[in-house]
A and B are shown apart, each in its own frame.
Chain A
Amino acid sequence: MTDSRLNEKQQQSDGSHEPKTRAYGSVANVKRIIQNIKRMSRSKKIDISGKILLFLPTVMSISIIVLIFTFLWIEAFPIFVAPEGGIGIITNPIWNPNDGQYGILVFIAGSFLCTILAISIAVPLGVGGAVFLSEYCPNSLRRPIRMIVEMMAAIPSIVYGLWAYLVLVPTIETIFNVQNGLSVLAGGLILAIMLLPTVVAVSDDALQSVPRTYREASLALGATKTETAIRVVLSAAIPGIGAAIILSLGRAVGETMAVLMVTGNTLQIPYTLFDPTYVMTSIITNQLGYAFIYPLWRSALFAVALVLLLMSIMFTSIAKILIKWGIKSRGLA
């Protein structure tokens, strides 16, 4: 009580000295802000400090992205201005640092193909599995399956890679009768297997959260369970399924160990699924250790990382735009 009265007095005296304080300029402004804060009630103070405290993490997460971009750009800059390099490295298919050739097209093509292959296998399979789990599976079976699926998501990627190297690659060799199973196909398949649990779990959650009344409305019109699941439930779950796709896109582009072990790491552009390839993450992992020999070599590897980041952002943004359109056309938002 006395405190607030005191503040009032201060305010009055401030008012009377208005012209004088003007002269001090910003110092007076700061003073006034501090006084304003002092005059605030307890709850308002908590509110303000909460706002400031929560603003910090937001700023931090944004600045991390900016910092990573800046750092990649600074490191990659030399290759983009060097006579051997330039922006042309993106379309140059020859990578031979000993010869001053820094084309990264092979890696872009390799990563792009593996990602597209993985997504086009994992999404239909995973969403299909989720529809089964959510719409057909009795609860007694659903729970253990969900548990196993979630455990699959926790397996380290190196373990997937080892398994793929020992089982998947020879299987591809036998089934398709090819000499070398280390290929785009092996990379895409192991990526798809790794993505499956995420796609299944996230899509299943999305399907489960579709209101029961949509299902009832469809069934009441004489639809079968399958028609209902495909035409109504799946369509209503688009936002959640979209999230599953975005999550797996990010993981597919950036996955390193498993892909490194099964794609053959050969410097050539793959023309068939059975050709070996070299993906962006692999070249960075494999060569960063001795790339210091030529400064441009090191810089080129950072350029690969920069392209990788841009590619990941591009994939995610395209998916996001499509999903937003899907949500809007359904009136779900």
Chain B
Amino acid sequence: MKSDYEYHIEIENLCTWFGEKQILKNITCYFEDSSVTAIMGPSGCGKSTLLRSINRLNDLVDSFRMTGKIMLQGENIYAPDADVYELRRRVGMVFQRPNPFPMSIRDNITYGPRLHGLHDSDELERIVEHTLRRAALWDEVKDNLDQPALNLSGGQQQRLCIARALSIDPPILLMDEPVSALDPISAAKIEDLIMQLKKDYTIILVTHNVQQAFRVSDQAAFLYLGELVEFDKTKRIAEAPEDPRTEAFITGRIG
């Protein structure tokens, strides 16, 4: 179905704990290349934990434990010899609240490439323009690249964060409720952007907004109390949810 260098992600029997509390229970699923997968579910169901398992950001929490496997391009990212920094270069992330660094707009974009050893200023300029264009922010900020990023509006900041994530050209993009802290107009802009980006990126989008999940995603996962209740093509889930809990969630009775 797909070529050799596809960037799909396979999750096998993933269980995670924070301390004694089990968050994810035996999750097995498969994220396809060049598509948007929405992870839906009520608050506290483990959506963010699942997302953060994919770039190993959960490792920052001392009490985090996990079992199972996450395979990226055929390699287990939790293998003892896996390089977590290399992994995070291939998996970009956009957070719930816009979190641009307290630096200039330009420095926000060049931060990642510089970290990874790129110092050629022409090339950096090219990346700044390219990623800002991709994030549909270029026209708004091209004259103010040296202004502090924190002076931008919330929606602009979030698009800057998307541009920042794209700056190191990761094939996979994780988005943790990227529009929930934004006004409806900014949110719509970012949804459009997600549709644009999915041609070139494998996007995993966490959301508690069912309508949004249905609008932008190709596949959808429904997570409830740490269990993967349903995982299929979005269209199928939207039309005919199999599990009563999924139906209850998408009709708004739980969540």
Chain A residues near B (Cβ < 8 Å): 138, 211, 213-224, 227, 231-232, 235-236, 328-332
Contacts and interface: CB of A to CB of B under 8 A. Distances in A.
B116 interface: yes
Nearest to A328: B148
Given A214-B101, A235-B102, A220 B150 contact: no
B88 A330 contact: no
* Residue of A219, A221, A224, A332 with highest tally of chain B CB at under 10 A: A221
B88 A222 contact: yes
Contact of B164 (A215, A217, A222): A217
Contacts of A330: 102-103, 148, 150
B245 interface: no
Interface in B191-214: none
9 contacts: A213-B95, A216-B95, A220-B55, A220-B91, A221-B168, A222-B85, A235-B102, A330-B150, A331-B149
Contacts of B57: 216, 219-220
A299 B252 CA distance: 83
Q: Provide the main secondary structure of the chain A interface.
A: helix
A239 B151 CA distance: 17
A331 B151 CA distance: 6
B115 interface: yes
Interface in B79-109: 85-86, 88-89, 91-93, 95, 97, 99-104
A332 B101 CA distance: 10
A219 B60 CA distance: 10
Contacts of B102: 214, 235-236, 330-332
B101 A232 contact: yes
Contact of A329 (B99, B112, B148): B148
A220 B93 contact: yes
Interface in B89-147: 89, 91-93, 95, 97, 99-104, 111-112, 115-116, 147
B40 interface: no
B85 A231 contact: no
Given A218-B111, A231-B115, A332-B102, 7 more contacts: A214-B99, A216-B57, A216-B95, A217-B99, A220-B92, A222-B88, A222-B112
Contacts, number: 81
A148 to B, nearest CB: 23
Nearest to A217: B99
Contacts of A223: 85, 112, 115
* Residue of A224, A330, A331 with highest tally of chain B CB at under 10 A: A331
B164 A331 contact: no
Query: Chain B interface: which size bin?
Result: 20 to 34
Nearest to A224: B85
Contacts of B85: 222-224
Give the 8 A-B residue pairs with the shortest CB-CB distance, closest first. A331-B148, A331-B150, A330-B102, A222-B89, A220-B93, A213-B99, A221-B112, A222-B88
B101 A217 contact: yes
Contacts of B92: 220-221
Interface string B40-83: 00000000000000010100101000000000000000000000
B11 interface: no
A223 B168 CA distance: 12
Nearest to A223: B115
B161 interface: yes
B156 to A, nearest CB: 12
A219 to B, nearest CB: 7
Nearest to A332: B102
* Residue of A217, A218, A222, A232 with highest tally of chain B CB at under 10 A: A222
Contacts of A221: 88-89, 92, 111-112, 115, 164-165, 167-168
B109 to A, nearest CB: 11
Contacts of A138: 62
Contacts of A227: 115
A96 to B, nearest CB: 54
Contacts of B95: 213, 216-217
Contacts of B101: 214, 217-218, 232, 235-236
Contacts of B89: 221-222
Nearest to A220: B93
A150 B168 CA distance: 43
A126 B57 CA distance: 29
A235 B148 CA distance: 13
A244 to B, nearest CB: 18
B151 A216 contact: no
A217 to B, nearest CB: 5
A222 B168 contact: yes
Contacts of B62: 138
Nearest to A225: B60
A236 B148 CA distance: 12
A215 B165 CA distance: 14
Contacts of A328: 148
